[in-house]
Amino acid sequence: MRDAFHEELDHTSDQLVEMTRLAGSAMARATTALLDADIGLAESVIAADEQIDALQRELDDTSIMLLAQQQPVATDLRIIVTGMRMSADLERMGDLARHVAKVARRRYPDSAVPPVLRATILEMGQVAERIVAKAGSVIASKDLHTAVELEQDDDEMDRLHRQVFAMLLSEDWDYGMEAAIDITLIGRYYERFADHAVSVARRVVYLVTGEWHESYTPIVRVP
Amino acid sequence: MRDAFHEELDHTSDQLVEMTRLAGSAMARATTALLDADIGLAESVIAADEQIDALQRELDDTSIMLLAQQQPVATDLRIIVTGMRMSADLERMGDLARHVAKVARRRYPDSAVPPVLRATILEMGQVAERIVAKAGSVIASKDLHTAVELEQDDDEMDRLHRQVFAMLLSEDWDYGMEAAIDITLIGRYYERFADHAVSVARRVVYLVTGEWHESYTPIVRVP
């Protein structure tokens, strides 16, 4: 059986996984709200962000409490500090989902996404959902293979992001400037969402291997 | 005389102030590079970001070392944890300055900023420089009046940001879509830069007063 301290650490790990679930659900619903011009769904994403923020505060309070009372060193210390960094990434991912939902709300009853970009934005939403689910798996299982896969999802997000710019700059774009600004910002939100998921996974890899990959390639030694 | 531990804490505070100086200098030079289409300056900002990253790593290593060796509690513990969060904000501010410089580089030998927006972008650069300088003062002096002023600079940044959108959407905009995308992203980079400076200042205020203001208004009790 694990001692009380390590049970607390397990609990913070569970809370981080829960944050990935909430952030993923928020981005998935924000994407639907955006594509379907669903104002009710947009409002619910905006309101639900408070849950993610509250979870971060709770996690941080527990972490500070553990640092003060348990005076951890070595690996335990690093786990706590890394957990606080991951919770900051995940809190920010919640904000980015909220930003997407706010664009949906601003353009209601229209959709902010013109027909030519629906498929691309749908896919960005799906990659976002997938990448944060994998970040959750990496936290829960410390599985480095999943961390490598996740980097590939991020490459996919970058490819979709470039596709968005290509469409904005093509002859076919005749949806005006307001839609172009929305789409430029939305593209950025999805890209940053994926970046933060990558950052979460890299922090776990760093905890496990002691190696930080700024530009991650699958050369990590998988045990 | 202060003991060795508190001297270390003072040193990390100095390093945070140094990070604000570097981030401010980077954003000021990135703005000039953008407005003057100065490729050399843009390259130097991009290269110099490594310095800010290195300072963050150093600061984090020191913080972890202090947590492990000194086992601080109460205020000292909060100072260290808050310092790590501030260094993350400041590192990100360096990234944002680098993003601005990259737009300057991408558009060289043209300027990414059309004549009608030069004054606005110049001002955004100045507000960015001012707000991060104030964040440095707040860290160094714990002066809550400066923290309040800084929130006003952030309001000013938001006003300029809205001005950018208004210009993009006006009849007068005839610089095409590529410039519009650049400007949309640049506007976002300056706005986020200011947000992170606000976050740094709020963290200091929180350390001093124990109160966190999500939407800060000058009701803080200034001692």
Q: Give me the domain span that covers residue B175.
A: 4-209
Tell me the shortest Cα–Cα distance from A107 to chain B, in angstroms: 15
Q: Which residues fall within 8 angstroms of residue A102, CB to CB, at 6 or more apart?
A: A42, A46
The amino acid sitting at A87 is S
Tell me the shortest Cα–Cα distance from B148 to chain A, in angstroms: 24
In this complex, do B88 and A88 lie within 8 Å of one another by their Cβ atoms?
A: yes
A207 at B interface, C-beta within 8 A:
no
Angle between helices B176-209 and A144-169 (to 10 degrees): 130
In this complex, do B180 and A177 lie within 8 Å of one another by their Cβ atoms?
A: yes
In this complex, do B178 and A188 lie within 8 Å of one another by their Cβ atoms?
A: no
Q: Does A187 fall in a domain?
A: yes
List CB contacts (< 8 A) between A167 and chain B: none
A4 at B interface, C-beta within 8 A:
no
ipTM here: 0.93
A185 at B interface, C-beta within 8 A:
yes
List CB contacts (< 8 A) between B74 and chain A: 68
Q: Number of Cβ pairs closer than 8 Å across A and B?
A: 53
Q: Which residue of A has its CA nearest to B171?
A: A177
Q: Which of residues 54-93 of B touch A (CB under 8 A)?
A: 64, 67-68, 71, 73-74, 77-78, 81, 84-85, 88
In this complex, do B181 and A178 lie within 8 Å of one another by their Cβ atoms?
A: no
Tell me the shortest Cα–Cα distance from A111 to chain B, in angstroms: 18
Q: Which residue of B has its CA nearest to A178?
A: B169
In this complex, do B180 and A178 lie within 8 Å of one another by their Cβ atoms?
A: no
In this complex, do A74 and B88 lie within 8 Å of one another by their Cβ atoms?
A: no
Task: Give the per-residue pLDDT at B200.
Answer: 98
- Under 8 Å between Cβ of B80 and B66: yes
Alpha carbon distance B185, A185 (integer Å) = 7
Both structure tokens of A112: 């902010």
Task: Read off the pLDDT of residues B113-149 as tens digits, 9 standing for 90 and up.
Answer: 999 999 999 999 999 999 999 999 999 999 999 999 9
Q: With b meaning 16 or more CB within 10 Å and e meaning fewer, what string describes A195-210?
A: bbbbbbbbbbbebbbe
Per-residue pLDDT for B216 more than 90?
A: no
List CB contacts (< 8 A) between A185 and chain B: 184, 188
Task: Give the per-residue pLDDT at A212.
Answer: 65
Task: Read off the pLDDT of residues B173-207 as tens digits, 9 standing for 90 and up.
Answer: 999 999 999 999 999 999 999 999 999 999 999 99
B172: confidence class by pLDDT, cuts 50, 70, 90: confident
Q: Does B144 fall in a domain?
A: yes
Q: Which of residues 125-184 of A touch B (CB under 8 A)?
A: 165, 168-169, 173, 177-178, 180-181, 184
What is the rounded end-to-end Cα distance, in angstroms, of chain A?
25
Averages of pLDDT over each 10 residues, chain A, 223 residues: 88 97 98 98 98 97 95 94 97 98 97 96 98 98 95 98 97 94 98 98 92 51 35
Q: Does A217 fall in a domain?
A: no
Alpha carbon distance B7, A87 (integer Å) = 30
Residues across chain A: 223
- Under 8 Å between Cβ of B17 and B136: yes
Q: Does B169 fall in a domain?
A: yes
Q: Residues of chain B with pLDDT > 90: what percent?
A: 92
Q: Does A192 fall in a domain?
A: yes
Alpha carbon distance B79, B72 (integer Å) = 10
Q: Which residue of A has its CA nearest to B187?
A: A185
Per-residue pLDDT for B223 more than 50?
A: no
Q: Does B223 fall in a domain?
A: no
Mean of the per-residue pLDDT values of chain B: 93
Name the residue among A74, A85, A188 with its Cβ closest to that of B188. A188
Number of domains, chain A: 1
List CB contacts (< 8 A) between B165 and chain A: 181
In this complex, do A177 and B181 lie within 8 Å of one another by their Cβ atoms?
A: no
Task: Read off the pLDDT of residues B28-39 as tens digits, 9 standing for 90 and up.
Answer: 999 999 999 999
A188 at B interface, C-beta within 8 A:
yes
Q: Does A148 fall in a domain?
A: yes
Residue B48: give its domain's CATH number.
1.20.58.220
Task: Read off the pLDDT of residues A45-102 as tens digits, 9 standing for 90 and up.
Answer: 999 999 999 999 999 999 999 999 999 999 999 999 999 999 999 999 999 999 999 9
Tell me the shortest Cα–Cα distance from A184 to chain B, in angstroms: 6
In this complex, do A78 and B71 lie within 8 Å of one another by their Cβ atoms?
A: no
Q: Does B133 fall in a domain?
A: yes
CB atoms within 10 A of CB B75: 10
In this complex, do A81 and B73 lie within 8 Å of one another by their Cβ atoms?
A: no
Q: Which residues fall within 8 angstroms of residue A97, CB to CB, at 6 or more apart?
A: A23, A26, A27, A29, A30, A45, A49, A189, A193
Both structure tokens of A186: 């939305």
- B153 vs B95, B129, B159, B206, CA distance in Å? 21, 10, 10, 19
A213 at B interface, C-beta within 8 A:
no
